């Protein structure tokens, strides 16, 4: 079956067949975190979504260069203060200490969610020269102007000459004339209110600043992604991603800077993830509608009735498409936990299934293979994880019927069973990367699983020898550890209480 990847391109607002610039290779840039505070769950949703996209592209045979930056300078707050400097001031730390501390936390959280590391993770502060060069070429091309040591991007001139400003975000320039996002203090220096700073002169007390032809200062936030994507992926590359909230001004201004400096659209496909909500509302610290990943894992929050393992949270995220909003609720998480357990149990059983294929039934084989193909087709359809998961779930009752003998496993051919095992391995280990962190579901693939298999074997031989004291002691001790041993037709399994 020929597979064709389609993705929704924010630039054209439609689904398009994906064609890479160079056959077999993909350059992908995703805006990384601003490392001035702990990573929050919304960020996690976005980075988990792009991890799945990265993993799926790899699984589809592409060689991918995945660049995800770290913003450690230039991302200003509404009052014009640099987020990093503010973090440093409040915590009495060096800005680089702040950046290191929260980069470490971010990386640890990405590991918890079982995501792959990007191919390159450049930092804005490590690319000041490239950013200064880009400002210079924007000035040389007539789209940048200097005023009192700061340099601004002339959005009106750019728009009039290229017709490109506002295309990505769908905003019209008239609406933007009131936008004053980069620095409240510098409005009078701008030719037009919608212009944005690409280089900012630093005040004397500003901590992070560098020499430049215009002033001792620092780059505008949007500039780093233009400079770093160009450096590592070239002037034009395949995919650029980020959260919806970055479409404007960040991505719109990135496009303007790239076209303004080298004359071309940086990325052919722009992908945007939608926002994570909680109980139907935007997550917000000010009205208490917020929960940290740690609180969600431990259950130490009024918003949840219990803790949920990182993989349950990830599974919950994958049950929505990355372009839909995702509403975090306790009920939703409880349901996700059930679903996740069911899927992992089935996966565990599937690994142990064997067939001789003696009474191979074409209809059964076909329905299994159709569901597998449908799951891949769903991923090819703009990475539709909820639909792909629903195909796997349609196979789960069949696996369970083979296990409890309601259906005869020999009706499945050896090739179909192998294809089914490979598809589950591929989805659960490579593409969705839902390593089992609940119970022994993954089979003897982890140390805990191996140890549990050993304990269960010891208990089994004690029972065979009628050594009830040993077998009962094992059961009781397990019980104290909140581990329940379940004896069934298929042997003994275990779950957490």
Q: Give the nearest distance from C-beta 170 to ligand AMP in angstroms.
A: 17
Instruction: List the structure tokens of 174.
Output: 């008239």
Among 246, 304, 375, 392, binds ligand AMP (CB under 6 A): 246
Residue owning tokens 């077999």: 24
Among 7, 28, 31, 372, binds Zn ion (CB under 5 A): 31
Site for ligand AMP in 225-244 (CB under 6 A): 242-243
Instruction: List the structure tokens of 155.
Output: 């959005």
Cα 474 to Cα 447, 466, 478, 493: the distances in Å are 19, 14, 6, 14
The number of beta carbons lying within 10 Å of the beta carbon of residue 264 is: 11
Among 11, 58, 275, 462, binds ligand AMP (CB under 6 A): 275
Answer left, alpha or beta for residue 25, where phi above 0 means left and psi between -120 and 50 means alpha. Answer: beta
Of 40-48, 111-119, 315-323, 329-337, the window that binds ligand AMP (rule: CB under 6 A) is: 40-48
Q: Give the nearest distance from C-beta 476 to ligand AMP in angstroms.
A: 45
Nearer to Zn ion, 268 or 416 (CB): 268
- How far apart are alpha carbons 493 and 486 in whole angstroms? 5
Site for Zn ion in 112-131 (CB under 5 A): none
Q: Give the nearest distance from C-beta 302 to ligand AMP in angstroms.
A: 19
Using CB atoms within 10 A of its CB, is residue 454 exposed (0-12), middle (13-18) or buried (19+)?
A: exposed
Among 43, 115, 215, 413, binds ligand AMP (CB under 6 A): 43
* # chain residues binding Zn ion, by CB under 5 A: 2
Residue 258 interacting entry, from Zn ion, ligand AMP, none, C-beta within 5 to 8 Å by type:
none
Name which of 53, 473, 62, 103 is nearest 271 in CA terms: 53
Q: Give the nearest distance from C-beta 324 to ligand AMP in angstroms.
A: 11
Of 31-39, 54-62, 133-141, 467-475, the window that binds ligand AMP (rule: CB under 6 A) is: 31-39
Q: Give the nearest distance from C-beta 352 to ligand AMP in angstroms.
A: 39
Q: Give the nearest distance from C-beta 52 to ligand AMP in angstroms.
A: 14
**Interface with ligand AMP, residue 58, by CB under 6 A:** no
Q: Give the nearest distance from C-beta 156 to ligand AMP in angstroms.
A: 27
Among 20, 27, 42, 166, binds ligand AMP (CB under 6 A): 42
Name which of 86, 92, 78 is nearest 208 in CA terms: 86
Residue owning tokens 């003998």: 405
Beta strand 326-328 with 281-282 is unpaired
Among 151, 202, 276, 311, binds ligand AMP (CB under 6 A): 276
Q: What are phi and psi of 47, to 5 degrees?
A: -75, -30
The number of beta carbons lying within 10 Å of the beta carbon of residue 468 is: 10
**Interface with ligand AMP, residue 34, by CB under 6 A:** yes
Quick check: 162 and 178 in contact, CB under 8 A? no
Q: What are phi and psi of 9, to 5 degrees?
A: -100, 115
Omega before 249 within 30 of 0, i.e. cis: yes
Among 110, 135, 198, 225, binds Zn ion (CB under 5 A): 225
Of 11-19, 24-32, 377-385, 403-411, the window that binds Zn ion (rule: CB under 5 A) is: 24-32
The number of beta carbons lying within 10 Å of the beta carbon of residue 10 is: 22
List contacts with Zn ion (CB under 5 A): 31, 225
């Amino acid at each position: 079956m020929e597979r064709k990847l389609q993705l929704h391109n924010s630039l054209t607002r439609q689904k398009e067949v994906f064609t890479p610039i160079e056959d077999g290779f993909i350059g992908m840039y995703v805006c990384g975190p601003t490392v001035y505070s702990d990573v929050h769950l919304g960020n996690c949703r976005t980075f988990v979504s792009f991890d799945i996209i990265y993993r799926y592209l790899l699984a589809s045979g592409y060689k991918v260069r995945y660049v995800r930056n770290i913003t450690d300078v230039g991302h200003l707050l509404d009052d014009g203060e640099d987020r990093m400097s503010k973090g440093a001031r409040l915590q009495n730390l060096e800005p680089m200490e702040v950046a290191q501390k929260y980069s470490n936390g971010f990386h640890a959280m990405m590991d918890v969610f079982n995501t792959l590391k990007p191919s390159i993770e450049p930092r804005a502060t490590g690319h000041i020269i490239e950013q200064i060069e880009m400002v210079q070429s924007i000035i040389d091309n007539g789209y940048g102007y200097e005023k009192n040591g700061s340099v601004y991007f002339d959005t009106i001139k750019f728009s009039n000459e290229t017709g490109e400003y506002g295309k990505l975000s769908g905003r019209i320039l008239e609406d933007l004339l009131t936008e004053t996002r980069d620095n409240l203090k510098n409005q009078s220096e701008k030719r037009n209110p919608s212009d944005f700073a690409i280089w900012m002169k630093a005040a004397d007390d500003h901590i992070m600043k560098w020499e430049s032809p215009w002033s001792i200062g620092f780059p505008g936030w949007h500039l780093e992604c233009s400079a770093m994507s160009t450096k590592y992926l070239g002037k034009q590359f395949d995919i650029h991603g980020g959260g919806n909230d970055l479409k404007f001004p960040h991505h719109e201004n990135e496009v303007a800077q790239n076209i303004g400096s080298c004359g071309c659209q940086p990325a052919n496909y722009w992908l945007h993830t939608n926002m994570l909500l909680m109980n139907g509302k935007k997550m917000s610290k000010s009205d208490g509608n917020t929960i940290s990943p740690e609180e969600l894992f431990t259950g130490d929050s009024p918003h949840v009735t219990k803790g949920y393992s990182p993989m349950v949270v990830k599974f919950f995220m994958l049950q929505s498409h990355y372009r839909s909003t995702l509403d975090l609720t306790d009920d939703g998480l409880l349901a996700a936990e059930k679903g996740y357990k069911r899927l992992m149990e089935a996966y565990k059983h599937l690994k142990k299934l064997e067939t001789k294929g003696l009474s191979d039934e074409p209809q059964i084989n076909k329905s299994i293979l159709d569901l597998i193909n449908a799951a891949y087709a769903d991923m090819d359809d703009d990475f539709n994880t909820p639909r792909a998961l629903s195909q796997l779930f349609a196979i789960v009752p069949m696996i369970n019927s083979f296990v409890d003998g309601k259906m005869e496993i020999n009706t499945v051919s050896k090739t179909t069973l192998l294809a089914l095992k490979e598809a589950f391995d591929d989805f659960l280990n490579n593409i969705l990367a839902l390593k089992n962190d609940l119970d022994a579901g993954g089979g003897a693939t982890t140390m805990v699983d191996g140890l549990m298999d050993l304990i269960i074997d010891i208990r089994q031989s004690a029972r065979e020898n009628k050594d009830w004291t040993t077998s009962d002691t094992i059961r009781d001790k397990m019980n104290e550890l909140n581990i329940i041993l379940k004896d069934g037709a298929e042997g003994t399994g275990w779950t957490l209480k």
